[in-house]
Amino acid sequence: MATQPISMNIIKQVLIRLSQKESVRKIAAALHISKNTVSRYKALSEADPMSTRDLIALEDTVLNHRFNGGNPAYCDSRMGVFKELLPYLEKELKKPHVTSKLLWEEYRKNHPDGYGLSQFRHHISQHIKAVEPSTLLRDLYQPGQKMLIDFAGDRLSYIDTETGDVVFVQTYVAILPFSRLTFITCVRSQGIEQFLMATVKALEFFGGVPKILVPDNLKSAVKKTDRYEPTLSEGMNDLANHYLCVAQPARAYKPKDKALVEDAVNKAYRHIYAPLRNRVFHSLEELNEAVAELVEKYNQKRLTGCDYSRSECFLASEKPMLAPLPLNPFEFKRRTTLKVAPNSFITFGSDRISYSVPYPLIGQQVDVTFTATLVRIYHEGVCVATHARSYRKGGYVYVEEHLPPKSREYRAYSAEYFIAKAGKISPEFKTIIETLFSGGQPEQIYFRTAQGFFSLHRSSDPALFRRACTIAVNNGSLRYKFVKALIDSGCEGFREDADELAPPASHSNIRGKEAFAS
């Protein structure tokens, strides 16, 4: 174990007392240090070419180095050989698919007595840090100057209550590097609409606008990457113009340009992901509420080595330096022209989501303007429909009044609907429909048969239909085909008040019982 440094004043006191011929035990007792420490300093002073008076006259830093400098690093013969290999190893590590373990195995083949894997990796890491030292210092960040943006690699999820599917979402992270105040939220994807919506929420969370937005090189922010002049996406440009700031993406493959947001992502795994690991959420909104609670706690924790939190530093030093938010938040709008389908819906987007349009516009062209939250449909400059934006793949968003009358009627179908409608015709018909829907299958199975009964009612004499229903109930045969046969035959041969067949009419072919008398 390395010896802990002792105050330079004590070392000089030891040297003075040694020059006065005091014993080791007496010096240790007087200065409240161990005898071994006094003996060590005595041996060092005797071995040093300088006199005791000259040692006492040295500056504290110089004296400390002479007495507590430690042992020389890497003094064995292996280090000399390893230093010669370092440039080669550094070059090989930059090649695709080459790992430090592979290079170590090759190294040990040629040097069986060389370093083990852990020391091998440590020395390479130290060499790389020395060759390419970090130039990022926290003091270089000015309050209110930058907002760093990134997405986490790992994803959170929630359960769709309608389908039961697990829906994975992306985690958006933004940080003000001076105060390190952090904003985290979950969005459905890294698409441009979701990315810009999250950025707007981040600015609202911070309550102001920094001078520079520094996103990663994702496609939603950067149309074409370039080390010196990257081309921003149209949406990113529009957002920066709206908030009167500048967007300056980080350089590609240079994570140190946004080191603090990379660190914030790692902290999100520990402070957000880990506490939520056993919780189940049933909507994106519910998930974001839980994330927001943990983010607030995270921002209120004391920074390591500081007596203040991120929130306190932000409120005291950075918030006053942010530009004010505009009166209206930014909305990224997209526009397209579509034809209204025969079912009175338009469909767009990669998820093929359909939105209803008033049915008189079927077959006509409409202009569609949509944001991350709203869909507006215009016809000849007039807004004819407004819908909340949906993200359910293949889903339908509609207003009942937009649908054609037959579609509205079909959507209103249910067992109760048919039973109530039958009760308005006759009690016996109501009994038939009630019996139909008590078959134990999903009610949709019986819709077509119920429609068949009502079709019989529309196409036949009302009195005949009611009579056929009465006979069907009395005979306990409530099937559609039986009622249809009764109507087709005019209920011939049946009486409404008896279960037995009525006697046939008299004619010449009927002989009667007299013909069989003996």
Instruction: Give the residues across from 335 on adjacent strands.
Output: 369
The pLDDT of residue 56: 78
What is the spatial distance between Cα 156 and Cα 175, in angstroms, rounded to a whole number? 20
Q: What is the residue whose two structure tokens read 């083949």?
A: 109
* Residue recorded with tokens 């009690």: 427
Cα dihedral sign for 455, 458, 464, 466?
Answer: positive
CA distance 60 to 498: 124
Query: What are the residue ranges of helices labelled H in 207-283?
Result: 234-242, 259-268
Taking CA atoms, 172 is separated from 1, 158, 209, 229, 377, in Å, by 45, 16, 18, 25, 30
Q: How confident is the model at residue 2 (pLDDT cuts 50, 70, 90)?
A: very low
Phi, psi for 509 (deg, rounded to 5)? -80, -10
Instruction: Please report which confidence band the pLDDT of residue 3 belongs to, taking 50, 70 and 90 as the band edges.
Output: very low
pLDDT (0 to 100) of residue 392: 80
Name the residue type at position 511: R
Q: Does the pLDDT of residue 499 top 80, yes or no?
A: no
What share of the chain in percent tops pLDDT 70?
Answer: 86
Rounded Cα distance between 154 and 170, Å, is 8
- Grade residue 292 by pLDDT with cuts at 50, 70 and 90: very high
Q: Which strand ranges, in their side-by-side order, compose the sheet holding 345-348?
A: 345-348, 353-356, 396-397
Are the C-beta atoms of 433 and 450 separated by less than 8 Å? yes
Whole-number average pLDDT of the chain: 82
DSSP codes of every residue in 280-309: --SSHHHHHHHHHHHHHHHHHSBPTT-SSB
Cβ partners under 8 Å of residue 278, min gap 6? none
Q: Which two tokens stand for residue 70?
A: 């430690």
Residue 369, strand partner residues: 335, 376
* SS3 label, residue 214: strand
Q: Which residues lie below 8 Å from residue 153, measured CB to CB, with a gap of 6+?
A: 265
Average pLDDT over residues 262-267: 86
Q: How far is CA 256 from the centre of its chain?
A: 24
Measured between alpha carbons, how far is 341 from 334 in angstroms, rounded to an integer? 21
Please give the span between the terminal C-alpha atoms of the chain, in angstroms, as a whole number.
136
The whole-angstrom distance between residue 45's C-alpha and the CA centroid of its chain comes to 65
Q: Residue 182 is which amino acid?
A: T
Q: How far is CA 277 from CA 158, 271, 492, in A?
A: 11, 11, 74
Element (H, E) at 346: strand 345-348
Residue 171 has pLDDT above 90, yes or no: yes
Query: Highest mean pLDDT range out of 54-63, 286-295, 432-441?
Result: 286-295
pLDDT at site 294: 93
pLDDT of amino acid 76: 63
Position 176 scores a pLDDT of 92
Beta bridge pairs of residue 354: 347, 396
Instruction: State residue 517's pLDDT score.
Output: 65
- CATH of the domain spanning 139-321: 3.30.420.10
Neighbours of 16 (CB within 10 A): 14
In this structure, are residues 249 and 230 in contact, taking their beta carbons and an 8 Å threshold?
yes
pLDDT of residue 293: 93
pLDDT in tens, 207-263: 999 999 998 888 888 878 777 778 888 888 888 888 999 888 887 767 666 778 888
Confidence (pLDDT) at 132: 59
Helix (H) or strand (E) holding 63: helix 60-68
- Of the listed ranges 19-28, 134-143, 235-244, 336-345, the least confidently predicted one is 134-143
**Highest mean pLDDT: which range of 155-169, 408-422, 440-454:** 155-169
- pLDDT at residue 435 tops 50: yes
Structural contact between residues 354 and 383, judged by C-beta atoms closer than 8 angstroms: no
Residue 89 has pLDDT above 50, yes or no: yes
Residues 386-417 pLDDT 10s = 998 887 877 888 887 887 776 656 666 778 88
Q: Which residue has the higher pLDDT, 409 or 206?
A: 206
The ranges assigned to domains in the chain are 8-68, 77-131, 139-321, 334-405, 413-488
Q: Are 11 and 45 in contact (CB under 8 A)?
A: no
- 176: helix, strand or coil: strand
* pLDDT higher than 90, residue 202: yes
Cβ(125)–Cβ(86) under 8 Å? no
Contact yes or no for 174/310 (Cβ under 8 A)? no
Contacting residues for 239 by C-beta, under 8 A, at least 6 apart: 196, 199, 200, 213, 247, 330, 332
Are 12 and 67 in contact by the 8 Å Cβ rule? The answer is no
Neighbours of 211 (CB within 10 A): 16
Residue range 504-516, pLDDT digits in tens: 666 666 666 676 6
Burial 367-388 (b: 16+ CB within 10 A, else e): ebebbbeebbbebeeeebbebe
- CA 13 remoteness from chain centre: 64
What are the tens digits of pLDDT across the range 333-391? Answer: 778 889 988 878 888 877 788 898 988 888 889 998 888 788 899 988 888 999 988 87
Which pTM was predicted?
Answer: 0.52
Neighbours of 428 (CB within 10 A): 20
Distance CA 401, CA 385 (A): 11
Distance of alpha carbon 334 from alpha carbon 279, whole angstroms: 36
pLDDT beyond 50 at 265: yes
